[in-house]
Chains A and B, each alone.
Chain A
Amino acid sequence: MKLKQRKALTAVTALLLFSVTQIGLQIGLAEPNSTRTTPKLPQQIVARLATRNNQPITVNGQSASTGASLLTGMTIETAADQSATVNVGPLGTVDISTNTRVVLTFEQGNLAAQVIYGCVILTARKNTTGEITTEKGSIGKTDPANGGVLEMCFTQGAAAPVVGPGVAVGAGAGAGPAGAAAAGAGGIFGLGVPATIAVLTAGTAAGVTPLFFPDDNSNPSPATP
């Protein structure tokens, strides 16, 4: 009897030990990812991209749209129907028009746009020196005591950049709307907006039209729930 009890006790102990080892093993296997730690990095200024109608543009050769983060030294490129605004937090903003290629560099107190081609508006806040350069040299600098705005266009093939208020706004710089649609002007058949609304409200059949949101991401993710 005693022998039987001892054997049973040994078996139970062995089973317990085995179970504990298994649990330990499972934890061990689950661990590699969780034990990896992110390196401690110094805090840096990270800019935010906003694109017109959330349309993707190109940042360092990769597609990026509203909400993307930009770091100093990145190259931003827009095509014919794309424009964007880069918000560099405490330093200011850079509005980028269509058909533009620009390298943005920034650090505490400095915000610079090196325009390869295209149009930009650089708005530097107080305590920041804003500067726009091209291959021809510096277009100008803002006074950190007051902040300021620099606006320029240097289109491909142009002999020299054009500088001054309005030159880049006309080219559609920024993530805001462009062209006539910006002001909500127009209306069908030139009726004007109020008349158009009236016509639509009064004259349309009662079918439920499916909505479309042009700003939606067409393919948010191929992952399936």
Chain B
Amino acid sequence: MRDAARIGFSRLLTRYALTTNSLPAADQAVQLTPADPEAHRARALILNRLRRPDEAVASLELASSLRNGSEDLWIELGNTREELGDSEGALAAFDEAVRAAPYYAHTHWQRGNLLLRMGRYEQAFTDLREAAAKNEKYFRNLLELAWGLTRDAKQTEALLQFRADKDRLAFARFLAQRGKGTEVVDQVRLLSAPLSGENKDELVRLLAASRRFGEAFELWQGRQPEAGIVNGSFEEPLVLDNVIFHWNLLQGQSKVKLALDVSEKARGAKSLQVVFDGEWAPGATLLSQTIVIEPGRRYQLKFFVKTRDLVTGGPPQIVLTDAINDRILAKSDPFPSGSGSWSEMNVEFTAPSQSAVISLMRDNCAPAPCPIFGVVWLDGFSLETL
């Protein structure tokens, strides 16, 4: 009865000590129950919080000797020993932690991290991989460490030793976020099963966001990029979902209406009709498409335009920009005012990088606001190498 009361008092004191970081309370608990490992552990914890690791180690060693087999105690001891600069002692403690809980992820994770700091990379990554295999929450941290050490896709891959497609896909995503286009394509090729549409779209989006358009195109089409325009004659429906390498339309312009027109066409069976009813913010891109091109090559962009009752001080035109840095490469002539029949326009430019953006834009006119009225039809966009 008396022993039970003593244990009860000790536990209460320990709880109080932990809540308030009170060392005297922890000491009192240890005094009451010197054989209780929890009292020693609590004391160590408080000492560690008070940045007195040298004293904490003694308490943790005592607690470990009183209660064998608790991996948490060994981990605390390992961490405290490392805090004191005793890496070998810390490793011995983490070894015990792994022995006590070999199927748990965090024991391997802690030991792997210590081995990494000790410069024993091979052993470290064996443990870190083991931890990530047991608990996938560690996988991304493992990726960060492997990449941080190597900054190289092949070496990172060698350190990670993928066993499942999902891990390789996660790596491809990681690389895409860092703009490593070629490496992403390489990893996708190594997948045992084809990419799902969803995963492909995500990788293409990530690569495009990193401005790796060539590789994004390759992933999207499954073949080497070729200069060209997708749906240049507007024969296929327009995609309103901001899909890269398709026509993208500026949303939220209530005074501008875009539609496929079967009654007017210069090529094929349809054209794109743009009806202006007053407003179109100058500088805003109404229609655009990112295209892949070959750096250094000279190209000619051709298209057809027709206007009806087009009245504005800032007429529309087609502008080509470098997709990497948004620098303007070339501009078409402004579209003719008033009304006219189909006319062919062309723009020549030299590709500075692997991608460019074709945009329907217009310059500002001197008196703001700059209204625009009338109808424009566009058709037959094509790209030729000069």
Contacts and interface: CB of A to CB of B under 8 A. Distances in A.
B144 interface: yes
A48 B8 contact: no
Is the interface on chain A under 10, 10 to 19, 20 to 34, or 35 or more residues?
35 or more
Nearest to B41: A213
A156 interface: no
A38 interface: yes
A186 B148 CA distance: 45
Interface string A24-65: 000000000100111101011011101011000001101110
A46 B116 contact: yes
Contacts of B5: 206
Interface string B51-87: 1000000000000000000011001101100110000
Give the most central of A69, A193, A197: most B CB within 10 Å: A69
B113 A68 contact: yes
Interface string B321-364: 00000000000000000000000000000000000000000000
A223 B149 contact: no
B148 A71 contact: yes
A206 B145 contact: no
B141 A37 contact: no
Given A59-B144, A220-B105, A206 B25 contact: no
Interface in B1-39: 1, 4-5, 7-9, 11-16, 18-25, 28, 32, 38
B291 to A, nearest CB: 33
Given A67-B75, A72-B148, A223-B134, A209 B11 contact: yes
B15 A193 contact: no
Interface stretch (B117-125, B186-194, B262-270): B117-125
Contacts of A38: 121-122, 125, 158-159
A157 interface: no
Q: How large is the interface on B (under 10, 10 to 19, 20 to 34, 35 or more residues)?
A: 35 or more
A196 B113 CA distance: 41
B135 A222 contact: yes
Interface stretch (B42-50, B221-229, B239-247): B42-50
Contacts of B9: 200-201, 204, 206
Nearest to B163: A33
B150 interface: yes
Which label, helix, strand, loop or mixed, suits the secondary structure of the B interface? helix
Nearest to A64: B141
Interface stretch (A13-21, A136-144, A146-154, A175-183): A175-183
B117 A221 contact: no
A74 B78 CA distance: 24
Contacts of B72: 213, 216-217, 220
Contacts of A62: 140-141, 144
A190 interface: no
A63 to B, nearest CB: 7
A205 B8 contact: yes
Given A38-B158, A196-B25, A206-B4, A215 B15 contact: no
Contact of A193 (B24, B42, B103, B109): B24
Contacts of B161: 33, 36
Interface in A150-207: 176-177, 181-184, 186-187, 193-194, 196-197, 200-201, 204-207
B144 A223 contact: no
B12 A67 contact: no
Contacts of A213: 18, 41-42, 45, 72
Contacts of B168: none
Contact of B113 (A60, A69, A89, A211): A69
B104 interface: yes
A21 B107 CA distance: 39
Given A33-B161, A209-B11, A69 B103 contact: no
B49 A176 contact: yes
B106 interface: yes
Given A72-B148, A197-B25, A208 B11 contact: yes
Nearest to B147: A71
A210 to B, nearest CB: 8
Interface of A: 33, 36-39, 41, 43-44, 46-48, 50, 52-53, 59-60, 62-64, 66-69, 71-74, 87, 89, 176-177, 181-184, 186-187, 193-194, 196-197, 200-201, 204-217, 220-225
16 contacts: A39-B155, A43-B119, A46-B117, A52-B49, A59-B144, A60-B144, A62-B144, A67-B75, A196-B22, A197-B22, A197-B28, A201-B9, A213-B72, A220-B107, A221-B101, A223-B105
Given A181-B19, A220-B104, 18 more contacts: A44-B149, A46-B119, A48-B82, A48-B113, A67-B78, A67-B114, A69-B113, A182-B49, A183-B21, A187-B22, A200-B25, A201-B13, A206-B1, A208-B11, A209-B15, A214-B18, A220-B72, A222-B135
Shortest Cβ-Cβ A-B pairs, 5 listed: A206-B5, A71-B148, A221-B105, A223-B134, A221-B104
